[in-house]
Structure 1
């Protein structure tokens, strides 16, 4: 665990544009619900380049999969975005059309830059009765990079950079971008910073967001805050849009109340491009969406994949 602090944390505080409250969504079309910071609370034109942040904190009821090919979140496609599944507790499990099949402990992360297309399935590695806490985060990519070959990574706990904040006020897990002297392992196309701050009760943290990143959002996913940049009494579930338009105003100051708090920072460079969004497909035009749907119907999706049936473990090449 590294111990560090921003070189310059005396920058003038970023103004707050507005504070909203997380939404509740049902991404699986059934009783299962997640809390959503954006786009429910912060619409896409303000969260650019960030598309979605779903947060879940629940007790696993189904338990571990009984068969290698069983996944609670069944096979589904993605195109045109970067995706991270970040777990604070529980065990992650992933399979995809590139032939990857992996599990990872928490805190840990699995990420994909899906590019021209990936099919994947998730879940089924956590014992019943286990508390699960984590996020799924989608980030948009520029139009000229949406059809790149897909990339993938799994990040176990030992490879997730954790920084101890000065004066023992908490920790920062750097998920993406350069911050606090380390680089996050989520290899996004667009320039972003993603940091999970744990602020101990009564403690404060100060941080300077990188210049040039013109979107900045704080998501208070756990606990309450005494203040954020002078705004007092911030409740759990609050989603704060900061004014990141000025490089002279980059400072962030957060103080916890009488309990530990979990605060996610999302900072990024806006794309300012049109978005055509159809479920797990994010492109720039409706014509591109129609092309993708046609590929799905004809079996041509994903265009880059392994040669065997990646949905069946017994079809994988045997290792000599």
Structure 2
């Protein structure tokens, strides 16, 4: 039984890098945080690399910045991921692949600089809120190379499902989120029909048609590329998705999760429950006490790493 559609909105355009570069945003630009709960943000990057690979181990085009109180995944469909953080991680990964952080009490990290000029980089950065009692957990990190990202071939030439988080098709996605979610990247072949049921107990469901157009979704016809579809996932008996493509392949991301229904205090890369918690975090940043959990060397300089960890 298909879930009813509550709303269809168009993706927004944002400039997260503070320059001319832009990304497409499914939420909160198209779907507000209240309705996307527990999902905070989904940015879709689709651009050609112009600057090329970083010329120094310590150079990152997305410079060092903090996070607190959320789970984050950077999932790349094309291109090469490159990451450094205050836990002492320095990692690269090929696509399709992912790196994720459950940032908890705080992480500083930097990204980018892993691709040659002319590389078409496509991928997502996704933020997920966490319950108030878990916001100050010790941070956790993981890198997921292509060979460890579960890819399920769907029968009858329907396409593939890359399971990023949660359980589906007998596998579990590697993004170790705090809040219960299900995240799947569906690639549906031209002229095909995909049927899927979201997990029980998940009362938020969003589809993001990030590439291609659809003939229909749950009875709604002619769904254009860039559409963000909010579904009604509150009825246990209605859990189904029915996605039909036109003549060409389409890319559709599923975001399903359990709502937190908690207040959100959001200041850039910091997501807490109260403004007082935001002020406390900003004071820690100003006084050098952030992040509270970090390695005991200068993680921003590769030369400062212990010898046995140098790459």
Q: Which runs of 4+ in 1 moved over 6 A?
A: none
Match of 1:44 in 2: 33
Query: Does 2:75 correspond to 1:86?
Result: yes
Query: What is the alpha-carbon distance in structure 1 between the residues aligned to residue 119 and residue 193 of structure 2?
Result: 31
Shift of the alpha carbon at 1:28?
Answer: 1.4
Query: What is the alpha-carbon distance in structure 1 between the residues aligned to residue 206 and residue 295 of structure 2?
Result: 38
**Which residues of structure 1 form unaligned runs of 5+?**
1-11
Match of 1:183 in 2: 172
Shift of the alpha carbon at 1:173?
Answer: 0.0
Match of 2:63 in 1: 74
Q: Deviations over 1:31-87 (max 9, x none)?
A: 110000000000000000000000011100111000000000000000000000000
Q: 2:87 aligns with which of 98, 106, 111?
A: 98
Query: Does 2:196 correspond to 1:236?
Result: no
Match of 1:21 in 2: 10
Query: What is the alpha-carbon distance in structure 1 between the residues aligned to residue 8 and residue 256 of structure 2?
Result: 16
1:130-279 maps to which residues of 2 (within 5 A)?
A: 130-279=119-268
Aligned length: 309
1:293-304 maps to which residues of 2 (within 5 A)?
A: 293-304=282-293
Match of 1:305 in 2: 294
Query: What is the alpha-carbon distance in structure 2 between the residues aligned to residue 131 and residue 107 of structure 1?
Result: 13
Matched position secondary structure for 1:217: strand
Match of 1:8 in 2: none
Matched position secondary structure for 1:173: strand
Shift of the alpha carbon at 1:134?
Answer: 0.1
Query: What is the alpha-carbon distance in structure 2 between the residues aligned to residue 124 and residue 184 of structure 1?
Result: 26
Question: Structure 1-normalised TM-score?
Answer: 0.96
Shift of the alpha carbon at 1:319?
Answer: 1.5
Match of 1:283 in 2: 272
Query: What is the alpha-carbon distance in structure 2 between the residues aligned to residue 319 and residue 39 of structure 1?
Result: 43
Shift of the alpha carbon at 1:29?
Answer: 1.4
Query: What is the alpha-carbon distance in structure 2 between the residues aligned to residue 168 and residue 185 of structure 1?
Result: 25
Match of 2:19 in 1: 30
Shift of the alpha carbon at 1:280?
Answer: 0.1
Shift of the alpha carbon at 1:315?
Answer: 0.2
Q: Deviations over 1:267-312 (max 9, x none)?
A: 0000000000000000000000000000000000000000000000
**Which residues of structure 2 form unaligned runs of 5+?**
none
Query: What is the alpha-carbon distance in structure 1 between the residues aligned to residue 52 and residue 233 of structure 2?
Result: 43
Query: What is the alpha-carbon distance in structure 2 between the residues aligned to residue 186 and residue 175 of structure 1?
Result: 6
RMSD: 0.6
